[in-house]
């Protein structure tokens, strides 16, 4: 039977949860679990707990990254840099495919379609 393409990802995710549970049992008080859904819905409590675990001071601005992004990365956001890099890589791949494929251009897939 052929496994669905995402089977490996689900298996790796489940295994990481098992490893985290084992680490919490084995080294109590040294592992801080952060649940993505809670972090997104109400970031302050989890960020404060994470900072405390790391011995760092919590600042409320940590819960508002969208406010700090223009200051930290002026002019262009990190996601725009990544998109530019992807576009450059795609153009390079397409040129290589045309050269190797006798003039046929490569179709590049992207997460957006």
Q: In 3D, which of 33, 37, 66, 67 has the Cα closest to residue 50?
A: 33
pLDDT of residue 89: 56
The per-residue pLDDT for range 58-74, each reduced to its tens digit, is 999 899 888 877 777 77
DSSP assignment letter at 105 = P
pTM of the model: 0.50
pLDDT of residue 8: 83
Element (H, E) at 56: none
As a whole number of angstroms, the distance between CA 56 and CA 51 comes to 5
DSSP assignment letter at 55 = T
């Amino acid at each position: 039977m052929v496994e669905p393409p995402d089977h490996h990802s689900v298996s790796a995710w489940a295994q990481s949860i098992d490893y985290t549970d084992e680490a919490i049992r084995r080294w109590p008080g040294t592992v801080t679990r952060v649940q993505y859904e809670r972090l997104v819905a109400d970031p302050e409590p989890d960020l404060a707990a994470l900072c405390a675990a790391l011995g760092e001071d919590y600042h409320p601005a940590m819960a508002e990254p969208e406010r700090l992004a223009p200051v930290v990365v002026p002019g262009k956001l990190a996601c725009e840099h990544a998109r530019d890099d992807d576009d450059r890589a795609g153009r390079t791949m397409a040129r290589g495919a045309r050269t190797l494929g006798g003039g046929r251009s490569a179709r590049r897939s992207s997460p957006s379609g």
